[in-house]
Structure 1
Amino acid sequence: MDTLATLLVLADSRLPTGGHVHSGGIEEAVTSGLVIDLATLRAYLGRRIRTTGLVAASLAAAVHEGTLTAAAGGTGDSETDARTPAPAARAASRAQGRGLVRLARRVWPDTDWDTLGATPHLAVAAGAVGRASGLTPGQTALSVVYTTMTGSATAGQRLLALDPGDVAALTFALAPLCERTAAEAVKDLADLSDPLLDVLAQRHLDRDRPLFAS
């Protein structure tokens, strides 16, 4: 399988892994008045790339390289838990990881996916998928950073009724930041968190009839 085509498919928002039902905190940010227009959406996405995106990409790259183990209860799992302080964010990560592995079983049936357990973290699943698909660790990291950004961008577009062309242009403008963040992610495990995003993730649980799962 061609690696560039594989990278494009993994970064496609139509990938049936359940990511479309998660906003990455955007729904709560919009409700709280933190994201109100294209400019504030850009600021939010940039922040998410530099924090959540960097951490998840570094974990995925480490799993891909074998520095962290992908097995359930292994170092990939524990290191991701340690870098995801909000229980709500951990639950969202595992829900999306489960969806990615469900798809991976169909695409790469000769790989033993049972070792990852029923609900691996998304970063752990992404690292295992990247290795199975023949991507490089850098490509795996880029896919994770990019989808971390575009998932929230699409949710923001829907919630704020923004012009899809404006949001698409914004994602193009943020592409260099995604590239730099992915390059940083493969160097070492990132060790940081964003208290604001953690608070938004937890507060979302108390919303009455939310549109997104997170």
Structure 2
Amino acid sequence: MNADSHTIALLMADARLPSGGYAYSSGLEPALQGGLPPGEIGAFLRARARTTTIVDAATAVVALSAGRRGDAYGPIERAWAARTPSRAARNSSRELGRGLLRLATTLWPDSAPIAGLTRITGGWSRPVVLGAVAAHAGVDAESLVRIAVYDDMACAVAALLKLEPGDPIDGVRLVIDACAGVADFTPQLSALTSPEAIPASSAPQSEAWAEAHAVTNRRLFRA
């Protein structure tokens, strides 16, 4: 990556990015409301990293490949949706996607990879938009995998400080451990180029928690 690519990669992994991520907990609030003991949050994040997050990271990489080639993103979005059974989880990701796309189109209105996302109604998932931004910025596939995983874990831990207040240093440890748990998959995921190759790693309990959370009015976060 060149200097500009490194800068954009850092921005993409920054929780202060004005794309709406502060309103989400990466499934942690639904899990805690569903009965997850606080002492098992680390296990929850490690499991999420190997399931939901891996699907999103792979989707972003395939979208990156499509953006570089000028291919349509529709088949990638459909493949991601087929691997995300929870309607609530799909809706949340597309809300985040809209926020990220708004930011991207404002910053880079003439970008061909990003312009490819404006040709459909109904919204795009966050990983597809993330891949398109990476294609515009020249972010390499391995860096994109790490960004996608880190972003999901860091979002959860940022929410954790509001849901179960504690020492922020403990949250940093949770992020490091969860990211380390999927590091060995990075080369494999970064080599993906087709929607069919996106892994189908389901998390049925998390999906059930997400569905229950979507219909309650006692929550701090959207998801």
Q: What percent identity do the matched residue pairs reach? A: 32
Q: Which one of 23, 32, 55 corresponds to residue 25 of structure 2?
A: 23
Say yes or no: does 1:207 pair with 2:184: no
Cα separation, partners in 2 of 1:100 and 1:207, compared to 1, 3 Å: same
Q: TM-score, normalised by structure 1?
A: 0.90
1:180 CA displacement:
2.8
1:78 CA displacement:
0.7
Letter in 2 for 1:87: R
List per-residue Cα deviations over 1:118-166 (Å, max 9, x = no partner).
Answer: 5211111011011001101221121111111111121122100121121
Partner of 2:50, secondary structure, is: helix
Letter in 1 for 2:208: V
1:198 CA displacement:
0.8
1:170 CA displacement:
2.4
Cα separation, partners in 2 of 1:159 and 1:80, compared to 1, 3 Å: same
**2:116 aligns to what?**
115
Q: How many residues align?
A: 211
**1:93 aligns to what?**
93
Name segments (4+ residues, structure 1) moved above 4 Å: 67-72
C-alpha contact (below 8 Å) 1:150/1:171 kept by paired residues:
yes
Letter in 2 for 1:159: L
C-alpha contact (below 8 Å) 1:70/1:76 kept by paired residues:
no
**2:172 aligns to what?**
168
**1:136 aligns to what?**
140
Please provide the CA RMSD for this pair.
Answer: 2.1
- Name the CA distance, whole Å, in 2 between partners of 1:7 and 1:179: 18
Say yes or no: does 1:149 pair with 2:158: no
Matches for 1:2-13 after TM superposition, within 5 Å:
2-13=4-15
C-alpha contact (below 8 Å) 2:45/2:153 kept by paired residues:
yes
Gaps of 5+ in 2: 193-197
Say yes or no: does 1:127 pair with 2:128: no
Q: TM-score, normalised by structure 2?
A: 0.86
1:168 CA displacement:
1.5
- Name the CA distance, whole Å, in 1 between partners of 2:156 and 2:97: 17
List per-residue Cα deviations over 1:43-78 (Å, max 9, x = no partner).
Answer: 111011100111011111011112998746x10111
Gaps of 5+ in 1: none
1:114 CA displacement:
4.3
1:20 CA displacement:
1.1
Say yes or no: does 1:46 pair with 2:55: no
Partner of 2:202, secondary structure, is: coil
**2:195 aligns to what?**
none
Cα separation, partners in 2 of 1:62 and 1:126, compared to 1, 3 Å: same
Cα separation, partners in 2 of 1:152 and 1:181, compared to 1, 3 Å: farther
Cα separation, partners in 2 of 1:3 and 1:115, compared to 1, 3 Å: closer
C-alpha contact (below 8 Å) 2:46/2:177 kept by paired residues:
no
- Name the CA distance, whole Å, in 1 between partners of 2:64 and 2:148: 12
- Name the CA distance, whole Å, in 2 between partners of 1:70 and 1:17: 25
- Name the CA distance, whole Å, in 2 between partners of 1:168 and 1:210: 24
- Name the CA distance, whole Å, in 2 between partners of 1:10 and 1:146: 10
- Name the CA distance, whole Å, in 2 between partners of 1:202 and 1:140: 28
